[in-house]
A and B are shown apart, each in its own frame.
Chain A
Amino acid sequence: MNNTNKKARISLIISRILAYGFVIFLCFMCLFCFILLILMASKSNSQMQGAFNFRWGGHFMENLSNAWNDFSINIPVGMVNSFIVAMSSSLLTTYFSALTAYGVHVYNFKLKNFIFTFIMAIMMIPSQVSAVGFIQLAYKFGLTNKLWLLIIPSIAAPVVFFYMKQYLESVLPLEMVEAARIDGSNEFRIFNEIVLPIMKPAVAVQMIFSFVSSWNNFFMPALLLTKEKYKTVPIMIANLRSADYSKFDQGKVFMFILLAILPVMVVYTILSKSIIKGVTSGSVKG
């Protein structure tokens, strides 16, 4: 008996060591690329011509100012454009999805079931199906290089609607709405002042996801934004690749990449807990 107990304990310890080793290895693999990125962003072009080493280059601020003031790739403008698009779409998508979900959840009306089924059905249609027609219309009506064209469509986000509807079902007692009505609040005020604050956690999670996916979005913006002053960050980064790569100051290239991913990284480090909770609701798009 004592012997088997001892055996079991030893096997538990071994399994734990193996498991920790495995997890640490995977974490290291994920971090390594980014450690390398920061390291490379600190090296001058001439340092990179020489042999590779893991030493800090000491030219971080110099690369930063070179990248920031670069003539051909205007990264500050790109970041402002990306921020405008990402921030506005995340605000619109969460507010209107919550509003639509509230409308379908709280009221009884003729088309209620039809509308819910309809939104569930369109959720399955991949966004690329509409891309061709969207691009055609944008060019036909001269709407290329308009940032709002990337923002307004986010009002209708079936996936976010679904998440908000689920959330409302679990947290909003209908009696609360009734009570507010008796107090004489109108329906808009009930939504804005009572329901929306209750939905804060759901709104926060969806805002982050929508911000990130908009910040990283490449396919549609690249087809719609052709003028330098309207380009978003992903387009500028892809342009780095198509420019004559060997002529580029390598320190600057790594700094551009670092600047492109930095805002999302900062948000993520602060809010990682609620982001990871949100993943399980199936809300992240690839």
Chain B
Amino acid sequence: MAKGNEKKHRKSVSYAKWAYIFITPFFITYILFTLIPQFLTVYNSFFENYRNGLEQVGPNFVGLGNYIRLLTPDKSGTIDFLRYLGNSLAMWIAGAVPQFLIALLLAVLFTSTRLNLKGQGLAKTIIYMPNLIMASAFSMLVFSLFSNVGPVNKFLIEAGILKEYYNFFATKISVRTIIAAMNFIMWFGNTTIVLMAGIMGIDQSLFESANLDGADSVHVFFDITLPLLMPILSYALITSMIGGIQMFDVPQVISNGKGTPNMTSTTAIMMLNNYLGISKNYGMSGALSVLLFIITGILGMFVYRSLAKQYKD
């Protein structure tokens, strides 16, 4: 009996060995290429470490110096980091409002048994497509279409709407509108599909009994669909917002990395990219990354909680 137990024991040990063999590549890769770099990012944020031309400055320990520098107003009284973060958020909000409203409406229309719309597969295929387009190529396309010599200006002049070409990339409002519109086009299809899955996950008998009670579709939406969709809706909102804070490709290519006009389309990640460019400023970029990480985490929790509370009451 004891022998049998021992055998059994040995057998399970030999299987556990396989588990460790199977998960080892994942963990070695994770430690080498993610965990150590993450640690280094945080470590760097406490050091002055950059290149000034050919001269290397640091690394010198400066404590919270980099964080203080990031959050201290410059001569004109602005804090660049917060300004760029504000740019990201402004452009995110301008795109996210139509994105979520239209996605919600589409998701309700597609799942409505009363309307029973045909051709949904094709429609979903088309509206999801912009999400897979290379963001830098899409930006280059939009830039070419709206440039001074591009077809949009040509068309508007031909049609007599404009007298001479309009430089879409020279005013704050038009640059931001273009970037927000691109984000909207790229993401509303994705949000629609996610929200549709959420609506289809709701117990169908709720809708049926609401229909029997004679509730109209507006009431059904606000009293059943929306509250029950809240967990997925807030998940989609949070991930979208985190994506907004990480906005980079589109404004980088549209403004050629310069945030034109006058840094109003520079985002926080473009600032990070500039620090990591020629100056290789690991200290400031480290501090910036850590701040972004903290902000992302806090905002994520905040949005989730407020939405959850609102619909519990």
Contact = CB atoms under 8 A, between A and B. Distances in A.
A96 to B, nearest CB: 5
A256 B285 CA distance: 33
A69 B31 CA distance: 42
Contacts of B252: 218, 238
Nearest to A104: B23
Interface string A19-32: 11011001101110
Nearest to A212: B132
Contact of B37 (A37, A131, A233, A260): A131
A199 interface: no
Interface stretch (B70-78, B134-142, B223-231, B304-312): B134-142
Contact of B141 (A49, A187, A257): A257
A261 B131 CA distance: 12
A15 B132 CA distance: 31
A120 interface: no
A167 interface: no
B93 interface: no
Nearest to B182: A33
A41 B26 CA distance: 44
Contact of B140 (A152, A222, A241): A241
Nearest to A161: B26
Interface string A131-164: 1111111010000000000001101100001000
A108 B14 CA distance: 11
Interface in A102-139: 102-104, 106-110, 112, 115, 122, 124-126, 128-137, 139
Chain A, interface size category, equals: 35 or more
Chain B, interface size category, equals: 35 or more
Contacts of B137: 233-234, 237, 257, 260-261
A129 B38 contact: yes
Contact of A136 (B115, B129, B282): B282
A81 B151 CA distance: 32
Interface in B145-188: 145, 147, 149, 151, 154-155, 158, 185, 187-188
B194 A125 contact: no
Contact of A135 (B15, B35, B276): B276
Contacts of A256: 140
Contacts of B145: 33, 36, 40
Nearest to B184: A29
A22 B29 contact: no
A51 B154 contact: yes
Contacts, number: 277
B222 interface: no
A100 B109 contact: no
Contacts of A137: 36-37, 40
Interface in B13-48: 15-16, 18-23, 25-27, 29-30, 33-41, 43-44
Contacts of A238: 136, 140, 252-253
Secondary structure of the A contact surface, majority rule: helix
Contacts of B246: 126, 128, 286
Nearest to B39: A133
A26 B132 contact: no
B126 A156 contact: no
A282 B26 CA distance: 21
B16 A110 contact: yes
A99 interface: yes
A56 interface: no
Residue of A36, A241, A245, A264 most packed against chain B (CB within 10 A): A241
24 contacts: A16-B115, A23-B117, A31-B126, A33-B145, A100-B26, A106-B19, A107-B18, A108-B15, A112-B19, A126-B292, A133-B37, A137-B40, A156-B34, A212-B132, A218-B248, A240-B140, A241-B253, A254-B144, A264-B133, A265-B132, A272-B128, A273-B121, A279-B190, A286-B243
Interface of B: 12, 15-16, 18-23, 25-27, 29-30, 33-41, 43-44, 102, 105-106, 109, 114-115, 117, 121-145, 147, 149, 151, 154-155, 158, 185, 187-190, 193-194, 196-197, 235, 239-240, 242-243, 246, 248-249, 252-253, 256-257, 269, 272-273, 276-277, 280, 282, 285-286, 289-290, 292-293, 296-297
Given A156-B34, A260-B136, 17 more contacts: A15-B114, A19-B109, A22-B106, A31-B126, A33-B130, A129-B38, A131-B41, A131-B289, A132-B37, A133-B37, A134-B33, A216-B132, A218-B249, A261-B138, A264-B132, A272-B125, A279-B128
Interface of A: 12, 15-16, 19-20, 22-23, 26-27, 29-31, 33-34, 36-37, 40, 48-49, 51-52, 96-97, 99-100, 102-104, 106-110, 112, 115, 122, 124-126, 128-137, 139, 152-153, 155-156, 161, 187, 191, 212, 215-216, 218-219, 222-223, 233-234, 237-238, 240-242, 245-246, 250, 253-254, 256-257, 260-261, 264-265, 268, 272-273, 275-276, 279-280, 282, 284, 286
Nearest first, the 6 closest Cβ-Cβ pairs linking A and B are: A133-B40, A103-B22, A133-B37, A107-B19, A286-B243, A52-B154
